[in-house]
Amino acid sequence: MIKKWYTEKVDPKQLAFFTAIIVGLSVFFATVLALINPNLTFLTKFFEIMYGGFGYSVSTLGILLGTVYAFTDTFILVWIISWVYNKTIKEF
């Protein structure tokens, strides 16, 4: 029996982990670019709004903090979404 793509369950931990890696690396490189070239700080404005209260800024410490915060938030959010998805799909 051929299953439809929308009836396949996903592995929440695996999906969350790899998505978090991509987002964490994106924040890492955006912060590094903004640190190297101050004209590129528009890349990090959103991160400063989200994580500024937790110590994030365009700095060497901000690279680490932004990467960790983005990884953690993304992992939790994607895990919850994929868990809900798995609970709501119907298996045939």
Could you read off the pLDDT of 7-41 as tens digits, one per residue?
Answer: 688 899 999 999 999 999 999 999 999 999 988 88
Q: Provide the whole-model pTM.
A: 0.82
pLDDT confidence of residue 33: 92
- Cα 34 from Cα 62, distance rounded (Å): 11
- Which pLDDT value is given to residue 25? 96
Domain assignments of the chain as residue spans, ordered by start: 20-87
**Alpha helices (runs of H) in 8-59, residue ranges in sequence order:** 12-36, 45-51
Can you give the pLDDT at residue 6? 62
Find out whether 33 and 66 touch, Cβ atoms under 8 Å: no
pLDDT band at residue 81 under the 50/70/90 scheme: very high
pLDDT of residue 42: 85
Return d(Cα 69, Cα 40) in angstroms, integer. 21
